[in-house]
Structure 1
């Protein structure tokens, strides 16, 4: 009986810890987009990169500082300009 209670208690603690970890990782800054850190296995096409940048910008001040938001917006603008340059005929 004690082993069962101890096992159930351990499962509850582990379950609640993983839920908290999942929530923390969702609200974390995207270091790959922001500073090219933690970019393992992340190869995006230009459209996905623009979507990811836009999604991160929409998180706003609850996740990013004003300087970081400015940096993300600048990267989005650069990516959009790159796409426009690629779409121009004659290049």
Structure 2
């Protein structure tokens, strides 16, 4: 009986930890920002998203390919434009 409890507990711990591990893989890539994958329970305000994008862009080519860096820069530009449009007076 104890053995069964230990096995079930171990399986639950392993299942819970894989979600956090999947968010950053392959040498620190943030798949949630890059591909909108593995984003369970992750909601950022626009400022936090811009900070995360900047942090990932700063990792440069040691983590991301040039194509992926361009995707991150594009997402940052979109977030900045969204912020500008929300801050416009008269809205």
1:27 to partner: Cα distance? 3.6
More relative contact order, 1 or 2 (CA 8 Å, 6+ apart): 1
For the pair shown, the structure with the greater C-alpha radius of gyration is 1
Runs ≥4 in structure 1, deviation > 6 angstroms?
A: none
Instruction: Tell me the distance in 2 between the aligned counterparts of 1:25 and 1:90.
Output: 43
Q: Number of residues paired by the alignment?
A: 69
1:74 to partner: Cα distance? 0.3
Report the TM-score, using the length of structure 2 for normalisation: 0.71
Runs of at least 5 residues in structure 2 that lack an aligned partner in the other structure: 1-20
Report the TM-score, using the length of structure 1 for normalisation: 0.71
Structure showing the higher helix proportion among its residues:
1
Structure showing the higher strand proportion among its residues:
2
